[in-house]
Amino acid sequence: MPTFTALDFQILLPQIVLVSWACALLLVSVFARRAGPGLMPLLSALGLLVTGIFVAFQFNLEAEGFGGMLVADGFSAFLSLLVIFGGLLTIVLSYNYLQRMDWAKPEYYVLMLFSISGMMLMGAAGDLIVVFLALELLSIPLYVLAAFAYPDKRSEEAGLKYFLLGAFASGFLLYGVALVYAATGSTSFTQIVAALATAQPLYLATGAGLILVGLGFKVAAVPFHMWTPDVYQGSPTSVTAFMALGAKAAGFAALVRILLVVFPSVSAQLTPVLAGLTVATLVVGNLLAIAQSNVKRMLAYSSISHAGFLLMAVSAYGSDAARFDLVASVLFYLLAFALASFGSWAVVMALEHKEGRGLEFADYAGLGRKAPGLAAAMVVFMLSFTGVPPTLGFAGKFYLFRTVLEAGQVGLALVGVLTSLVSAYYYLRLIVVMYMQKGTPKVHDDRSLAWTAGLTAAATVVLFLFAQPLFGWAAQALLKIF
């Protein structure tokens, strides 16, 4: 008969803190309507900071809780801190923006906190059913957030599309989990591994494939990407920034852990599938991004292509030589992507006007003269997305490619390099528009956006100088378990 120990609750403590804080905030939002609009973002940020401190104490923990359902290790702690950092940046980005667009409602921040708790759970899941529950916990608030600009038609449409396709994807994931359960009699990672020898191989491989489909939807891998451009374009831009990082980071965390811990034995079947997904995602994401005239849609396709680069490293998971570098390089790339992504969305928000105006490439003409700081920051982000030194994006791509080469997948690396070259076209096009074309863009004077853009741009460049020690530290400190 299993009983709970103090360790179980120690592992769950950050979640408990965050979720109870969010519940308390719901009450606060009801009773403190007259307290002014600044109270909720302030309290939510405080809650995230407190949660972050609790997570930081778990960095050196190496434990399983609740009978293996939750895992606390450096990997989950890093991921939690990343999404908490993303949440804090989103709050900074959101406050003025929501006021200006007339979308400010206190529930916004509470939904974000719930979603973050789901993202943290994704990284800490040690059981497939926990992966499913965490995925729903992160997704359901995001569906509401995507439609948060209601009655704006685009936002409603984004919410409905995200909801229908997200729920469709979780159906696949759940059926995959059920098949793995049918094959092994368990959903716990360790018990599945123990039962692999007697498992029905067909059930197991199909189950693994369906789980891959479900998570592929969440991280926006082609051919499961159809929702991405519409949802990114229609959602309030602050929400887009939040889900661009959060859903992707959480999805990849769960994917990496499931593949490396549970499914090394089916790597022969899964590696070609993953490689196919990678090539499709890289090619489609980058080629369709070229055709976009709306900056939000361009960044959406760019986000798809970054999922492709991450998948490229993940598809090397069957190789023993590469699996260690795989985890470190995926986490590193997520960090690089987070900085450039939040920064570029901050610039987009500074130019965005009501009813979706100010989002076309043409609206960026002349930004280099009108707002030199924002334009310079945008240049840094575009270079980081492309993978040009001296930006963190270059280091991130370097480690991803190294992982793939270590696994001996030269063909994949080649596709990655070629599509990187293609991506330079649309990233540089924005720079050309900003500096070479004449225009008078209308830029909002919003300090929180300017600061976010400036600081993330600075971090993207400065951290590049320390990329080598940072990567080494990440690899040693975080990844004992793999």
Q: What is the DSSP string of 265-281?
A: GGHHHHHHHHHHHHHHH
Binding another protein by CB under 8 A: which of 66, 75, 78, 143?
A: 143
Which of 143, 427 has the CB closer to another protein?
Answer: 143
Instruction: Give min distance, CB of 129 to another protein, in A.
Output: 5
Q: Buried b / exposed e across 148-160, counting CB within 10 Å, b at 16+?
A: bbeebebbbbbbb
Instruction: Give min distance, CB of 90 to another protein, in A.
Output: 20
Which of 185, 372 has the CB closer to another protein?
Answer: 185
> Is residue 4 at the binding interface for another protein, with CB under 8 A as the rule?
no
Please report, for residues 56, 249, 457, 461, 475, the alpha-carbon distance to residue 78 in angstroms, rounded to integers and kept in the order given.
9, 11, 21, 21, 11
Q: How many CB atoms neighbour CB 398 within 10 A?
A: 17
Which of 43, 169 has the CB closer to another protein?
Answer: 169
Instruction: Give min distance, CB of 309 to another protein, in A.
Output: 23
Evaluate the omega torsion of the peptide bond into residue 151 and state whether it is cis, within 30 degrees of 0: yes
Binding another protein by CB under 8 A: which of 90, 96, 187, 303?
A: 187
> Is residue 136 at the binding interface for another protein, with CB under 8 A as the rule?
yes
Instruction: Give min distance, CB of 51 to another protein, in A.
Output: 22
Torsion-angle region of 355 (φ positive above 0: left; ψ -120 to 50: alpha; else: beta): left
Contact region with another protein (CB under 8 A), list: 34-42, 99-107, 133-141, 431-439: 133-141
Binding another protein by CB under 8 A: which of 22, 113, 124, 144?
A: 144
Helix (H, G, I), strand (E, B), or coil: what is residue 200? coil
Helix (H, G, I), strand (E, B), or coil: what is residue 294? strand
Torsion-angle region of 185 (φ positive above 0: left; ψ -120 to 50: alpha; else: beta): left
Q: Measuring CA to CA, which residue among 70, 105, 88, 67 is closest to residue 18?
A: 88
Contact region with another protein (CB under 8 A), list: 100-108, 170-178, 250-258, 389-397: 170-178
- Residues touching another protein, count (CB under 8 A): 44
> Is residue 153 at the binding interface for another protein, with CB under 8 A as the rule?
yes
The burial of 114, by beta-carbon neighbours within 10 Å (0-12 exposed, 13-18 middle, 19 or more buried), is given as buried
What is the CA angle 55-61-67, rounded to 5?
100
Instruction: Give min distance, CB of 156 to another protein, in A.
Output: 5
> Is residue 181 at the binding interface for another protein, with CB under 8 A as the rule?
yes
> Is residue 68 at the binding interface for another protein, with CB under 8 A as the rule?
no
Binding another protein by CB under 8 A: which of 50, 105, 157, 209?
A: 157
Contact region with another protein (CB under 8 A), list: 229-237, 275-283, 345-353, 374-382: 229-237
Task: List Cβ neighbours of 274 (8 Å cut-off, separation of 6 or more).
Answer: 212, 311, 314, 315, 317
Find the helix packing angle between 39-56 and 107-124, rounded to 10°. Answer: 20
Contact region with another protein (CB under 8 A), list: 152-160, 310-318, 321-329, 473-481: 152-160
Binding another protein by CB under 8 A: which of 32, 129, 273, 481?
A: 129
- In this structure, the chain runs to a length of 482
H-type alpha helices, 387-409: 392-406
Contact region with another protein (CB under 8 A), list: 86-94, 165-173, 304-312, 333-341: 165-173
> Is residue 132 at the binding interface for another protein, with CB under 8 A as the rule?
yes
Build a one-symbol-per-residue string for 270-299: x at contacts with another protein by CB under 8 A, - elsewhere.
Answer: ---------------------xxxx--x--
End-to-end CA distance of the chain: 29
Q: At 298, list the tokens.
A: 């361009």
Build a one-symbol-per-residue string for 83-122: x at contacts with another protein by CB under 8 A, - elsewhere.
Answer: ----------------------------------------
Binding another protein by CB under 8 A: which of 77, 125, 140, 340?
A: 140
Which of 173, 331 has the CB closer to another protein?
Answer: 173
Binding another protein by CB under 8 A: which of 185, 201, 272, 372?
A: 185
Could you give the dihedral angle defined by the CA atoms of residues 214, 215, 221 and 225, in that order, rounded to the nearest 10 degrees? 50
Helix (H, G, I), strand (E, B), or coil: what is residue 371? coil
For binding to another protein (CB under 8 A), which residues are involved? 129, 132-133, 136, 140, 143-144, 147, 150-151, 153-154, 156-161, 163-164, 167-168, 170-172, 174-175, 177-179, 181-182, 185-187, 229-230, 233-234, 291-294, 297
